[in-house]
Amino acid sequence: MLLLTLAACLLAAATGEGAAPDGRKPNVLFLVSDDLRPELGCYGNQIIQSPNIDRLASRSVVFDRAYCQQAVCSPSRTSVLTGARPDTTRVWDLTTHFRKALPDVVTLPQHFKEHGYVTVGLGKIYHGGLDDTASWSAPPKERGAPASRATGPRRPAPPAPQPVRSGGRGPAFRASDDPPNSGGEGALADEAIAALRRLKEASQPFFLAVGFRKPHLPFVSPKAYWDLYHPATIPLADNPFLPKGAPAFALADRNELWSYRDVPDASHLPDAYARQLKHGYYAAVSYMDAQLGRVLEELDRTGLSENTIVVLWGDHGWKLGEHDRWCKHSNVEDDARAPLIVAAPGAASSERHCGALVEFVDIYPTLAELAGLPLPTHLEGTSLRPLLENPDQAWKPAAFSQYPRSANGRRMMGYSMRTDRYRFTRWVDRDDHSKVYAVELYDHQTDPQENTNLADDPSHQSLVSKLTKQWEAGCRGARSFAAQE
């Protein structure tokens, strides 16, 4: 039987042991995918092919409303791995290491290492070049070909529909003639499979982190995954326009996509190119899914599944033409919301969905509690273990994200609060939060795509005042109802 009984799990949690009935500590398989939005079969997408993630979801709790703390790689990953929000880690960019502000903080894998676990990091866990040796039992390995490289014969990118720039990183998307399990993701899966075989023979429990690079740009994947989709079946975003009434700086204009040389030199991508780009994203997701599936199959084959907590998360969302924008770099729902799937021994024997508002800073305390480890005092999230037992219970009143922006000579931070019904964002001065430059309010009951900013609507001013008070309470309001009692 793959899963322990719920009674055994609850007993372990109640006693604080976090161990199997035979006394073994649970292992942890920590899976992360770069730029993965919750557009998967288990999240209701009927087009994308993600059978292996869906298989994991079939024995997991799928969190339908999980939010990152900042929608860009390093700040988001840092918040997950430290359990602290960006204003605590002081990581708002891709170059700052969290140990500059928090030299003694104990990271998630480091916490497990200090409690007897072998901790192994493969692939992209922290942002590239900003890894943390204290987190791992051995130096981390960023395995696999760089994201911009692939082996095998090259297929030329389709002709661009209008002028493009010279130079740049190469094509934004391409189908290669490589075998299905080759390339960077295939090499990473090979490393993870080999690691599982070694760890099975070890006397210590393990924390194995595997960081897949896809579906991050460029969307270079073996042709087999492109062939899973027919372009005509791939829909374009049905809101390819900026939110009405939103400040111009709320969404980034040009971003990393335009560093690739074949991208049309236009602010609005033509439909034909946009569909090819989305095709590439879908193929990259399926490529990553296949390699992740190989790792999960090895976990099953070795018999490790029965005593291994598996968590899969995407570091943030990604716009695919929504609001006439691409990539991440904002506070909108498409960027801040990301997948979070947790399979804990005994917690679910079938797929269950949780609609509670949860945050990525909750991952650290969740895994620590499931393993029976003490919770460090610096953590700013809440363990999700109660939701694994009962996904329908009342939970946090709000989730918080943020994004920095410079515009019109102003250094701003957009602090965004997602409540059950609303997204409320205030753009304030980085150094003086009493200076408010813009406010956004979106009603997800009537406007789930966040197409109309209601903040200046006279009929919504009492609501703006109410949400402002909740916003001013800050992340204290992000605690679960149980934690506030």
Query: Domains, the chain, ranges and CATH?
Result: 6-389 (3.40.720.10), 399-484 (3.30.1120.10)
Report percent pLDDT > 90 for the chain: 82
Tell me how many degrees the CA angle 54-56-61 measures, rounded to the nearest 5: 95
pLDDT, one tens digit per residue, over 357-408 is 999 999 999 999 999 999 999 999 999 999 999 999 999 999 999 999 999 8
According to DSSP, the β-strands at 337-343 and 61-67 are antiparallel
Mean pLDDT of 327-354: 94
Active site residue 279: no
- Alpha carbon 468 to chain centroid, angstroms: 27
Contact call for residues 173 and 158 (beta carbons, < 8 A): no
Torsion of CA 309, 339, 135, 305, to 10 degrees: 20
pTM, entire model: 0.91
Q: Residue 43 pLDDT more than 50?
A: yes
256-259: long-range contacts, CB 8 A cutoff, minimum separation 24: 256/217, 256/327, 257/172, 257/217, 257/326, 257/327, 258/165, 259/168, 259/169
Q: Which residue has the tokens 């579906």?
A: 215
271 pLDDT more than 50: yes
Residue 407 burial (CB count, 10 A): 14
By DSSP bridging, strand 422-429 and strand 436-443 are antiparallel
Is 9 marked active-site? no
Please pick, among 73, 327, 354, 475, the residue that the annotation labels catalytic.
73
Residues in the chain: 485
| Confidence check: pLDDT of 148 > 70 | no
Query: Which of the residues 127, 216, 279, 323 is marked catalytic?
Result: 127
List the single range of 18-32, 239-253, 264-278, 432-446 with lowest mean pLDDT: 18-32
- Strands (E) across 55-172 are located at 61-67, 118-123
CA distances from residue 215 to 81, 337, 343, 356 in whole angstroms, order as listed: 21, 16, 22, 26
